[in-house]
Amino acid sequence: MKNKFFIYIILFLPLFATAQNAYDNIWLLGYTPNDSVGLFGGTRLDFSKGEPVLSYFEIPFGVGRNASIMCNALGAIQFYANGCQVANADNVEMKNGDNLNPGPLRKSWCENFSYNLHQGSVCLPRPGHKDQYVLFHLAWERATVSPYSYYLNLFYATSIDMQLENGLGAVTEKNQLLQTDTNFIDNISAVRHGNGRDWWILLPKGLSDTMYMYLLSPSGIEGPRIERMGIKTEETMFSGSQVVFSPDGRKYIRAMQQGGITIFDFDRCTGKFICGKNLAYPGAEYDFLCSAAVSASSRYLYISVLTQLFQYDLWAEDIEKSKVKIGEYDAFIDTFGSQPAFYQLMLAPDHHIYMSSPNTVRFLHVIDYPDSAGVACGFRQRGMKLFTHHGFCLPNFPHFRLFDVQGSPCDTLGIDAPEEYRTLYAPEKRVRFTPNPASGIVLCTLPPCAGATLRVYNAAGVFIEEHQVAGVQEYELDCSQWPSGLYIVSMIPKDGHKPKSGKLVVVHGRN
C-alpha cells in the first residue's frame, strides 16, 4: 500500500506544482458568429486536470489574432481580450472594456474580425496587488502622408481590477501610452524577474538590435530601458514571426524568416542578453512564416516554417547540426477547402506543444512528447479536433511556472520555487529517458548519486521490477516485454536523499 501511495503522489505532482500558477489553464479559440451547427463560435480548452477538456461556448468576439487570456492563480477564467475589447468570465464585454487601441484602424479591423497583430499583446498579474492585472498591447497608427500606409508605433498598458463589479472585473485605466516609435515589431514577450516576483516585458524594434525593456513590479511599470542585443533583426513591424523564452527563462529565441533563428542567453536578474548566435532559416523561400516553442525541460526547440517542422537540441554543442525534420505538411484539405498548414506554436500546461494553422480550420497540430528526441516527440498533424473553426494565432502566454534564480544576487525576497516544482522541472533532478516513448532498450539518464535502487511501477502503482545502480548516470532498461502504457521509474538513492522519478511511455506496434 505504501508503494501505491508513493506512486500516486508522483503522478499528481504536475497538478500540485502548478496549482498556484495556473494563469494559463484555459485557452479560448474561435470566431463569431455563434453557430455550433456551422462550426463557428468558441472552443474552450481547460487544462485544469492535465489533459485538456474541450467544450463549446458562445463567444462575444473573435480571438483568432492577438488574443490575451487570463485566469487567476488557481486557474479560474478572469477575462480575455483580442486587441479591440475585453470580455469577462460571463463572455460579455467587461465594464469599460471597449475601445482598446483607438483609432481608424481599430474600426476597420475590429468590426469584422480582431486587431491585426499576431503576438501584439501579453497579460500579467500585477505583483503585490491581489486580483489586479496589466494588459500590454501594441497598436497601429495610420501615416499622415498616405491613407494607405501605417506604422506599428504605439505601445499601451491597460489595467484591470477583478475585485470590482462583484468579481466580474472592470478596466480601471485604459490605453496608457508607454512609448511611441516608428518601427516596433509584432513580438511582445514577458519573463519573470530573477527575484521570483516581478516581470520583464520585452518589445523589439525592427531593423536594429534595440530591445525596449519594461519592469512590472508592485510599484507599477518602470521603463523603457534600452538594451542592445548585439545581433540586428532584419524584420520590421508585422513579420509573421514569433519570439519565445525557454521555460527556465535562460534563453530568448527569435524565429524569423529574415535573419533566421537567433538564440540569446538571458540574465533574469539584470535583463541582459548574452552570447547571441544565429541558425539558418530552415524553410524554403516561400515558407514565409516562422514560429517557435521550447519543451518543458528547456532542451528541445521546435521551429515551424509553414510546411515543415524542425527540432533542435539546445543542449547540443552544435545546435545547428542537431536539427531534425520531424514533420512536413501532408497536403490535407478540409471540407471547406482550407489547408491546415503550420504556424504558431505554444507549450501548454500539460507539457504538450500545440500548433495553429495560417488558415481557418477545425484543428490544432500536436506534439505529444516534446522532450523526446527526433520523431519520438510524437508529432501529429491535426491531432486535436476543435468544436469550432480557428486559425492564425494561439494565446500569447509567458511561462508562469517560473520562480526565482536561486543563489543569484537578485534572489533577495525569499520567493523560492516549491520543492515539488524543482524536482519535476529541473532536468538535473529528474530521471530522463531516450527514446520516450520507447518499445525496446531505453537509456535512463539519472541524477548524480553514489548508488541507488531503480524501481519501475505501472500507472496503477503496481511494482514491475527493480535494478541496482552503482555510481553511474546512464543505465539501460529493457521495456520490450512490458505492456504498452505509462510507467514511473523511481530512483531511490542509498545515501538517504529524496527519491527522483520520471515518466516513461511504452508503445508497441506503433507505425
Our CA angle for 506, 510, 511, nearest 5°, is: 150
Cell numbers of 297, please?
A: 525541460
Residue 353 CA to residue 335 CA, distance in Å, equals: 26
Confidence check: pLDDT of 511 > 50: no
Q: State the pLDDT confidence band at 17, using cuts at 50, 70 and 90.
A: very low
Three-state DSSP at 166 gives helix
Residue 85 CA to residue 13 CA, distance in Å, equals: 37
Q: Give the 3-state secondary structure of 96-151.
A: CCCCCCCCHHHHHHHCCCCCCCCCCEEEEECCCCCCEEEEEEEEEEECCCCCCCEE
| Residues 266-306 pLDDT 10s | 999 999 998 889 999 998 877 778 999 999 989 999 999 99
Q: Average pLDDT in the 221-236 region?
A: 90
pLDDT of residue 372: 92
- pTM score: 0.81
pLDDT of residue 480: 92
Q: State the pLDDT confidence band at 450, using cuts at 50, 70 and 90.
A: low
427-506 maps to CATH 2.60.40.3080: yes
Q: To the nearest whole number, what is the mean pLDDT of the chain?
A: 88
Confidence check: pLDDT of 417 > 90: no
Three-state DSSP at 301 gives strand
Residue 136 CA to residue 215 CA, distance in Å, equals: 12
pLDDT of residue 399: 96
pLDDT of residue 376: 93
Q: Residue 329's closest CA among 371, 396, 372, 284?
A: 284
Window from 33-47, 107-121, 298-312, 391-405 with minimum mean pLDDT: 107-121
Radius of gyration in angstroms for the set of CA atoms belonging to the chain, rounded to a whole number: 23
DSSP for 340-388, please give it: -----EEE-TTS-EEE--SS-EEEEEEES-TTS-GGGG-EEEEEEEEEE
pLDDT of residue 81: 97
Residue 322 CA to residue 310 CA, distance in Å, equals: 10
| Residues 126-136 pLDDT 10s | 999 999 999 99
First-last CA distance in the chain:
37
Confidence check: pLDDT of 471 > 70: no
Q: State the pLDDT confidence band at 407, using cuts at 50, 70 and 90.
A: confident
Q: Which residue has the cell 498616405?
A: 146
Contact at 8 Å (CB) between 25 and 45?
A: no
Q: Do domains 22-390 and 427-506 have the same CATH topology?
A: no
Q: In b/e form, how buried is each residue of 384-393, taking b as 16+ CB within 10 angstroms?
A: bebbbbbbbb
Q: Give the 3-state secondary structure of 479-508.
A: CCCCCCEEEEEEEEECCCCCCEEEEEEECC
Confidence check: pLDDT of 121 > 60: yes
Q: State the pLDDT confidence band at 458, using cuts at 50, 70 and 90.
A: confident
Correct CATH for 22-390 of 1.25.40.320, 1.10.150.120, 3.60.40.10, 2.130.10.10: 2.130.10.10
| DSSP state for residue 398 in the 8-state scheme | -
DSSP for 382-426, please give it: EEEEEEEEE-S--------S----TTSTT--S--PPPHHHHHHH-
| Residues 156-200 pLDDT 10s | 999 999 999 999 999 999 999 999 987 899 999 999 999 999 999
Phi-psi region of 337 (alpha: psi -120 to 50; beta: other; left: phi over 0): left
Break the chain into its structural domains and give their ranges: 22-390, 427-506
Confidence check: pLDDT of 240 > 90: no
Cell numbers of 273, please?
A: 542578453
Residue 494 burial (CB count, 10 A): 13
Confidence check: pLDDT of 11 > 60: no
